[in-house]
Structure 1
């Protein structure tokens, strides 16, 4: 693994202790923002303040366990990266439904079930790659961002009448959000890294002035003991068969989100990165599932690898795994600090909403970026579009499926569940008729470069190939065709065959003529201008440079130029 220039400390490097501690504190600050999710679920279930505090305190223990699992240096468990987890929007819809149907015990029980689903998926995830393409994972990440944004609006409008935001709520939320945005955009120093935390602090202060946090609230928090063991009195588990599919899809969505985030870590920490490392992804999904099971057993909300913390790694250039162990220690200590957790339990709704809105934007765009890395043909466009349409239909008109049987209600009332099911079903249907090898005959007397490009584009769209790889394939094939026609004394047509096996794109040019020279070094400018061989050698060099592997062979009296492009 080669460290990119953008990183100060790579995944396996050990920074100075001061850097480790400061970086760990920053990661914990980001993690703390997403404590709002168990708050939302607990308040939805009508839990008393003491029980909410207990849920949050055991929750940080689950988060500490999760970051340790991901940072393990070797073995089948973990992605082996600095990859903290957060309480995630993936679990929000099903957990709200479970809280309404069976209270918090059903939330904990079904979270355990979702974790086991993710553990099972980790064992076969590499084989499912063709059925769960990256753009579908990108759609899930995008929709998780939408869920977070919608949750923020519900939090802000929760106690208002007529779907109107109260004046003081709008003031607190607006100033908090403006602080976050201003520090993120116009501050280039360390304040930018703490923009969300600073905005939340501003929101707390303003809430005190506007009466949304009272003196009684603060006294209740400050009068708690300095140290206390976390309470497990709230622990109880329940199971409901009607919630199996929603939480199974939640486990699948968590695995898809984890795949996208770990792939981002791989690209961020390896300058020579070409394709996702399946072992790291499988181990990361396994660790994510184990952490979700632990969260359910401890009686707290579902979690998964954080999309926000990978952004922090990119921003600071510090990716050392050693930081994960300090993060876990800080989180574990927080579990024994009732005052720290108590501050979160009295978080005003406008402050919560502003933090959620700010993070939702970045998560949504992260999903869009994952989708846009792929060439989308009409099939894949329909998959993504239909999934999103199903999501928004249920989100905007929740009563659209009110008439379906009771056992189907959990499938059609959770927007993320129905969107994921629609996308997966269409992926399976649209795989019918897809050919893994396509061929084109090229007339050397009338070469049409745009026809070659269109041919490759159509195949790449059907396969969902990465845009950057497709661009290299198009350039190399065009260069090779032009060079073969110009320099290789071609007799008869050139047969182009392009194939895809989920890992590589292979292009083969079969023709009757001389083999194309493929030098390792570019000819000098003098050779190009003065030598007859210069242009031919330049064309061969450009072909070799674009492909990851090239080979000239003779077969049945014909020459075969094979080009391999790692995907």
Structure 2
């Protein structure tokens, strides 16, 4: 594979300034994804007094996990710029557990103790699962991972478009002003990225978001009142709320950990693809195994330091694609930024104030690039009739649960929580069909080829000799 579209390869070492600019864009792309699950859980379970601390710990653990993934300590980590962050997939299951404690008269501390205990127990499931990845080569194929990557991109596009229109449940959602700013940010990023000047390409996301934020600051103003109530510094304290466990509430979370591991395999495949690294063979499998093990370790740290399950993010794959920087050095800068922001909540509060349309305009194009990466992986392998059926059914399920989520309303809660994720639905469908549909034999292929050729010949005009 040629590296002409990469400015810096995996093992290159760009300058400190270049690394910092690229790392800042990675953080901008992932920041909201890291803190949003915590905001949702804290708001729904009425944990407002602990929200700033929980957000700081989410950012702190994301930084530590990102460093481990990038460094690859022994067998732990993928050795890629794989950003760790709080997973959306667990929100429903954690809310179910938290509400049960709340309904039983438990305090906010009791709720958090159970949630962090379940987080740590589930992490062990993912750690054990990672040990058997080499034996699961039959299900981690270019076909299944390509489908999962595409589903990841499609599901993220939904998030990006919602932000571009103003944000979830925002006043004035979808008005012309929001759409105009989001579209303008998107176009600035696209045209800067298409430039032959590598500094413009490197800074495209930052330039687009800076100009969009500046415009809204001058025309509408930006609310920074929330900064006044933030603590100056947040000190990580292991097991600050204690640990609790409930086996009946653990089972759905354990299952989601397994499907999260499959999603991570897809994210890391996309990362390998964009970094021009192998997407098959021993090195690839070692990266997948180490990456899933790294996810498990990050989630173990998450429960220890008072935050929720972690996973490998797909958002930064789009950043790698757009900036052309795949250097692991950037991954360490990203980790440092997350840890620093975790210690100083006011910094995170400033980033949190970036207007949603600006964020949506930037992330929409990045998330779409992730989907394109999945399609590239699928296109790099011949799609015969069988593979086309698997792809069509899997992506149909992913798009279906996104468009009609109420179709799952009559399912048991644990199954609904699992299948409501487009990525999980696509991945399960792809694996099930890939394992059960009979493969086309060489004879079948040659028959199809002869049939296609004969049909082609029938459509050709008949040549007559003079």
Smaller-chain TM-score bracket: 0.7 to 0.9
Give, in whole Å, the separation in 2 of the partners of 1:50 and 1:345.
Answer: 18
Q: Displacement of 1:40 after TM fit?
A: 2.9
Alignment of 1:9-88 (within 5 A): 11-12=10-11, 19-45=15-41, 46=43, 51-72=50-71, 75-81=74-80, 83-87=81-85
Cα separation, partners in 2 of 1:372 and 1:39, compared to 1, 3 Å:
same
Tell me what 2:461 maps to. Answer: none
| Corresponding position: 1:229 with 2:274 | no
Q: Displacement of 1:306 after TM fit?
A: 5.1
| Corresponding position: 1:252 with 2:262 | yes
Tell me what 2:292 maps to. Answer: 285
Tell me what 2:417 maps to. Answer: 410
Q: Displacement of 1:362 after TM fit?
A: 0.9
Aligned residues: 430
For structure 2, which runs of at least 5 residues remain unmatched after alignment? 100-110, 453-466
Q: Is residue 66–residue 287 contact of structure 1 (8 Å, CA) maintained in 2?
A: yes
Q: Equivalent residue of 1:99, what SS?
A: helix
| Corresponding position: 1:136 with 2:132 | no
Q: Equivalent residue of 1:267, what SS?
A: coil
Structure with the larger helix share: 2
Q: Is residue 62–residue 335 contact of structure 2 (8 Å, CA) maintained in 1?
A: yes
Give, in whole Å, the separation in 2 of the partners of 1:402 and 1:349.
Answer: 30
Q: Displacement of 1:369 after TM fit?
A: 0.9
Q: Displacement of 1:265 after TM fit?
A: 3.5
**Aligned-pair Cα RMSD in Å:** 4.0
Structure with the larger strand share: 1
Q: Is residue 203–residue 323 contact of structure 2 (8 Å, CA) maintained in 1?
A: no
1:265-304: CA deviation from partner (whole Å, max 9, x where unpaired) = 4638x9xx98754334322332233223323443445544
Q: Displacement of 1:174 after TM fit?
A: 3.2
Which segment is superposed worse, 108-117 or 330-339?
108-117
Give, in whole Å, the separation in 1 of the partners of 2:117 and 2:351.
Answer: 25
Q: Equivalent residue of 1:375, what SS?
A: coil
Q: Is residue 44–residue 96 contact of structure 1 (8 Å, CA) maintained in 2?
A: no
Q: Equivalent residue of 1:87, what SS?
A: strand
Q: Displacement of 1:310 after TM fit?
A: 5.4
Q: Displacement of 1:190 after TM fit?
A: 1.4
Q: Displacement of 1:159 after TM fit?
A: 2.5
| Corresponding position: 1:125 with 2:133 | yes
Q: Is residue 30–residue 197 contact of structure 1 (8 Å, CA) maintained in 2?
A: no
Give, in whole Å, the separation in 2 of the partners of 1:144 and 1:60.
Answer: 22
> Normalising to structure 1: TM-score of the pair?
0.64
| Corresponding position: 1:213 with 2:222 | yes
Q: Displacement of 1:363 after TM fit?
A: 0.9
Which segment is superposed worse, 238-247 or 60-69?
238-247
| Residue of 265, 272, 287 corresponding to 1:262 | 272
Q: Is residue 3–residue 10 contact of structure 1 (8 Å, CA) maintained in 2?
A: no
1:234-281: CA deviation from partner (whole Å, max 9, x where unpaired) = 78776623344334212221133224423554638x9xx987543343
Cα separation, partners in 2 of 1:325 and 1:360, compared to 1, 3 Å:
closer
> Normalising to structure 2: TM-score of the pair?
0.76
Cα separation, partners in 2 of 1:25 and 1:223, compared to 1, 3 Å:
farther
Give, in whole Å, the separation in 2 of the partners of 1:426 and 1:408.
Answer: 19
Give, in whole Å, the separation in 2 of the partners of 1:128 and 1:452.
Answer: 32
Q: Is residue 94–residue 414 contact of structure 1 (8 Å, CA) maintained in 2?
A: no
Greater relative contact order (Cα < 8 A, sep 6+): 2
Q: Is residue 180–residue 195 contact of structure 1 (8 Å, CA) maintained in 2?
A: yes
Q: Is residue 181–residue 195 contact of structure 1 (8 Å, CA) maintained in 2?
A: yes
Tell me what 1:182 maps to. Answer: 191
